[in-house]
Chains A and B, each alone.
Chain A
Amino acid sequence: RKEVEQDPGPFNVPEGATVAFNCTYSNSASQSFFWYRQDCRKEPKLLMSVYSSGNEDGRFTAQLNRASQYISLLIRDSKLSDSATYLCVVILTGANNLFFGTGTRLTVIP
């Protein structure tokens, strides 16, 4: 069973659209949650942490549902520069290593 599951996409959306990505995690002992962004052949970079109460950073909103073991990322007013792979990342309680999902590929079209 995969620790972190994501829809691989691809999601092709027009500029200005709103797009949502979902992620589920299998281990209820997971304690920390993140969304990372990875451009083609580049390293992952932290986009935002995900808090239980939900959090927003500009056009990006992250939500966590611990009961359903589900994380989401909403991107509003998509820009061409948002084109990337979005990685759902989880850390288990007592661990330090990151578990990555396979990522969801987003392409924003002019």
Chain B
Amino acid sequence: EPEVTQTPSHQVTQMGQEVILRCVPISNHLYFYWYRQILGQKVEFLVSFYNNEISEKSEIFDDQFSVERPDGSNFTLKIRSTKLEDSAMYFCASNLAGGVGTEAFFGQGTRLTVV
């Protein structure tokens, strides 16, 4: 069964450092997303990406964040200068045709710990 894969599964970084979280969406999917979940809290939308550009982003997705699809398979989330409060589980997701009526498949997540 096709799946969304994320690497690494766990990343520890020092405050102020840059991190890149990587995702390989399902190959025929067209919409890609990043969500985050701070421990004990709800899953929060960060950004959606379609046709090689950001289609929507939340207030959380400020100038410290960027996304890129550098080739035909990878979808990355970069945090330029990490803060302690960026510690969370980051989930990548993809679906075939946007939100309406189509299932979004989530990767297993990258646990980011900022120390």
Binding site for B on A (CB under 8 A): 31-32, 38, 41-46, 49, 87, 91, 95-103
Q: Is there a chain A Cβ closer than 8 Å to B44's Cβ?
A: yes
Contact B91 A96 (CB under 8 A): no
Q: Is there a chain A Cβ closer than 8 Å to B31's Cβ?
A: yes
Contact A99 B45 (CB under 8 A): yes
Other A-B pairs beyond A97-B56, A100-B42, 17, CB < 8 Å: A38-B43, A42-B108, A43-B106, A43-B107, A44-B106, A95-B56, A95-B99, A96-B31, A96-B33, A96-B48, A97-B45, A97-B48, A97-B99, A99-B45, A100-B44, A100-B45, A101-B42
Contact A46 B43 (CB under 8 A): no
Partner of A49, one of B42, B101, B106: B101
Contact A96 B50 (CB under 8 A): yes
Residues on B with C-beta less than 8 A from A42 are 108-109
Q: Is there a chain A Cβ closer than 8 Å to B55's Cβ?
A: yes
Q: What's the nearest-Cβ distance from chain B to residue A34, in Å?
A: 8
Contact A32 B100 (CB under 8 A): yes
Binding site for A on B (CB under 8 A): 31, 33, 35, 41-45, 48, 50, 55-56, 58, 89, 91, 93, 98-101, 103-104, 106-109
Contact A96 B98 (CB under 8 A): yes
Q: What's the nearest-Cβ distance from chain B to residue A63, in Å?
A: 18
Residues on A with C-beta less than 8 A from B56 are 95-97
Complex CA–CA separation, A87 to B104 (angstroms)? 14
Q: What's the nearest-Cβ distance from chain B to residue A29, in Å?
A: 13
Complex CA–CA separation, A95 to B108 (angstroms)? 24
Please name the residue on chain B nearest to A93 by beta carbon.
B100
Q: What's the nearest-Cβ distance from chain B to residue A87, in Å?
A: 7
Residues on A with C-beta less than 8 A from B50 are 96
Residues on A with C-beta less than 8 A from B91 are 43-44
The answer to whether A32 and B106 touch (CB under 8 A), given A44-B91, A97-B45, A100-B44, is: no
Contact B103 A44 (CB under 8 A): no
Partner of A43, one of B33, B55, B100, B108: B108
